[in-house]
Amino acid sequence: MSRPAQSTLSQPTVAIAGGGPAGAVAALVLARRGLRVVVLEPAAGPRDKVGETLPPSLRPLLSHLGLEDAIARDGHRRSHGNRSFWGSDQASESPFLANPYGSGWHVDRHRLEARLEAAARRAGAEWKQLRVDRVCRRGRRWRLELSQPTAVGRRQRETLEVDFLADATGRRSRLAHHLGARRVRYDQAWPAGQPRALC
């Protein structure tokens, strides 16, 4: 039985697992500061999600990134407030009428992520459709074992070593789980943990 093909990628300075909004913005900022960045995202595109809203408080960040006008032109609907149910059957409302930054947006997730990815790529960040299978510390660097499916149903494997590593996989916390992090619940909303793993 032949073994899957394996290669070693060129060595960027920073690897970001997850190509959603958090990963794309991190890649954009780091690339603009002159760092070599690769974003690892196994999915070909974002999954459909409901209730995607950007609050008005993000306007200063979008303006700083030079993206506010582009986001406004992308056809997202304005959001004038939030109504939510959190731990109760009574609705909680937060209107944006008096917000100093104005209204927010109900966003199309595909369109938003495409905009952020395009900006990060223009700044020099790379995108690779690869899944992180294993990650560990090797001296002062991080070593990642990656894979992607091939046309014959096998997985092509690659390795990557970087100086810095960011987990932008959202609630899945994929890298943190690989490193053995344990969820510590301080309340009902936010998990935290202490990662550690050596090669």
Residue 188, pLDDT above cutoff 70: no
pLDDT value of position 51: 64
Q: Is 127 helix (H, G, I), strand (E, B) or coil?
A: strand
Condensed to tens digits (0 to 9), the pLDDT of residues 44-91 reads 766 677 768 899 999 999 999 999 999 889 999 999 998 888 777 888
User: In the structure encoding, which two tokens stand for residue 44, read together?
Assistant: 């070909």
Residue 146, pLDDT above cutoff 90: yes
- β-pairing, 37-40 vs 14-17, is parallel
Weakest-pLDDT range from 5-9, 30-34, 48-52: 5-9
Query: Other CB atoms closer than 10 Å to residue 92's CB: what's the count?
Result: 11
188 or 159, greater pLDDT: 159
Query: In the chain, what percentage of residues exceed pLDDT 90?
Result: 52
Taking the C-alpha atoms of residue 126 and residue 10, their distance in angstroms, rounded to an integer, is 11
Contact 134, 178 (CB under 8 A): yes
Taking the C-alpha atoms of residue 191 and residue 180, their distance in angstroms, rounded to an integer, is 14
Written as one letter, the residue type at 196 is R
pLDDT value of position 187: 60
Contact 147, 157 (CB under 8 A): yes
Taking the C-alpha atoms of residue 143 and residue 199, their distance in angstroms, rounded to an integer, is 8
pLDDT value of position 46: 66
Burial degree of 35 (CB within 10 A; 0-12, 13-18, 19+): middle
